[in-house]
A and B are shown apart, each in its own frame.
Chain A
Amino acid sequence: MFLARVVGNVVSTVKHPAYHGKKILILDLIDKEGNPTGDYQIGVDYVGAGPGDLVIAGGPPGAAREVFNIKFAPIKVLVMGIVDKYYIGEEEYPS
Chain B
Amino acid sequence: MKFGKVIGRVVATQKVQSLIGAKLLIIQPLTKDLKEKLGEPCVAADVGINAGKGDIVFMVSGGDAPMIFDDTVVPVDISVVGIVDTANIEEV
* A and B touching (Cβ–Cβ under 8 A): yes
Which of A's residues lie within 8 Å of B, judged by CB? 5, 7-16, 18-19, 24, 26, 28, 40-43, 51-52, 60-62, 64-65, 71-77
Whether B48 lies near A10 (C-beta < 8 A) is no
Kindly list chain B residues whose C-beta atoms are within 8 Å of the C-beta of A77.
1
Task: Using known A-B contacts A8-B88, A12-B83, A13-B83, determine if residue A61 contacts B62 with beta carbons closer than 8 Å.
Answer: yes
The answer, yes or no, to whether B12 is at the interface (CB within 8 Å) is no
Give which listed residue, B32, B79, B83, B86, contacts A74 with CB less than 8 A: B79
Whether A7 lies near B49 (C-beta < 8 A) is no
Q: List 6 A-B contacts (CB under 8 A).
A: A7-B32, A7-B92, A10-B87, A12-B82, A52-B92, A74-B68
Task: Using known A-B contacts A7-B92, A15-B82, determine if residue A26 contacts B61 with beta carbons closer than 8 Å.
Answer: no
Kindly list chain A residues whose C-beta atoms are within 8 Å of the C-beta of B85.
11-13
Most buried by B among A11, A12, A64: A12
Kindly list chain A residues whose C-beta atoms are within 8 Å of the C-beta of B2.
40-42
Whether B32 lies near A28 (C-beta < 8 A) is yes
Cα separation A12 to B92 with both chains bound (whole Å): 23
The answer, yes or no, to whether B42 is at the interface (CB within 8 Å) is no
Cα separation A18 to B31 with both chains bound (whole Å): 24
CB closest chain-A residue, reference B76: A74
Whether A16 lies near B64 (C-beta < 8 A) is no
How far is the CB of A75 from the nearest CB of chain B, in Å? Answer: 6
Kindly list chain A residues whose C-beta atoms are within 8 Å of the C-beta of B63.
60-62, 76
Would you list the 6 A-B pairs with minimal beta carbon distance, nearest first?
A61-B63, A15-B82, A42-B1, A74-B67, A8-B89, A52-B92
Cα separation A26 to B92 with both chains bound (whole Å): 13
Kindly list chain A residues whose C-beta atoms are within 8 Å of the C-beta of B49.
14-16
